[in-house]
Amino acid sequence: MTNLSWTNELLQQTVSYVVRIPGAIITLIATYILIRLMKRVLAAAASLAHLETTAKSLISSSVSFVGWVIGISATLNALGLTQVSLALGGSVALVAMALATGLNSVSQDLLAGIYLLSDDDFGIGARVRTAGVEGEIIRLSMRKTKIRDKDGMIHAIPNRNIDAATYTIIEQRPSKTREKAEKPSNTREETA
């Protein structure tokens, strides 16, 4: 008799999970669509902000990771596995909190880099004074700025240090219109 009741209970639980499978599949499909939509929107925004390829890749990967974790948690919840869903969500929250604490300076550099890259006057070729260094910007990335001083020394300064302090633009970088005017034209003069 106990064997029959055990089989009956197993069959009932199996049926209860099978009934929930269509909802779980719909949740996964919705997750996939939402992640693709968010990645496209953020890619367009990153292109408008003229972000580097590295930053675009970082944003895309972050959106995918967070989106899939949330989607899988929702799918497990739709299947009735609420405890597993909560455990997964809690684990991700702990990992995210640890990363946020550990990567605080990196995120500050990245945010400052976005602001500095969007400044039309602060760019490669500009002469600046910042963080105790005066010279020409020779490289500007999301995390740091490289400045060559008058002695030829190259200083790599984290962007958060530049953005948090005052920077003085001594001479603006060459504008694109000046660069075009200085380029020799490809037209030939005919001699008679």
Q: What is the rounded CA–CA span in Å between residue 58 and residue 46?
A: 11
When mean pLDDT is compared across 51-65, 130-144, 155-169, the lowest value belongs to 51-65
Q: Are 76 and 135 members of one domain? A: no
Residue 107 located in a structural domain: no
Position 192 scores a pLDDT of 37
Task: Provide Rg for the chain, Cα atoms.
Answer: 28
Cα–Cα dist 154/136, whole Å: 9
DSSP 66-91: HHHHHHHHHHHHHTT-HHHHHHHHHH
> Does 77 share its domain with 23?
yes
State residue 191's pLDDT score: 42
Two tokens, residue 117: 């890259």
- Residues linked to residue 145 through DSSP beta bridges, in sequence order: 140, 157
Q: Are 116 and 167 in contact (CB under 8 A)?
A: no
Same-domain check for residues 28 and 95: yes
Q: Which residues contact 130 (CB under 8 A, 6 or more apart)?
A: 147, 157, 161, 162, 165, 166, 167, 168
> Which element (helix H / strand E) includes 49?
none
What number is the average pLDDT over the span 20-43? 91
Q: Is 95 found in the same domain as 65?
A: yes
pLDDT band at 179 (very low <50, low <70, confident <90, very high): very low
| Residues 79, 154 within the same domain | no
Whether residues 24 and 96 fall in one domain: yes
Q: Do 166 and 185 meet the contact criterion of CB atoms below 8 Å apart?
A: no
pLDDT tens for each residue of 139-171: 988 788 999 999 999 999 998 888 877 788 888
The model carries a pTM of 0.47
Q: Are strands 154-158 and 144-149 parallel, antiparallel or unpaired?
A: antiparallel
Q: Domain count of the chain?
A: 2
pLDDT above 80 for 51: no
Q: What does the pLDDT average to over 170-184?
A: 57
Q: What's the rounded mean pLDDT across residues 129-143?
A: 89
Q: Do 95 and 124 reside in the same domain of the chain? A: no
111: in domain: no
Q: Which domain holds residue 34?
A: 19-102
CA angle 18, 36, 79 (to 5 degrees): 15
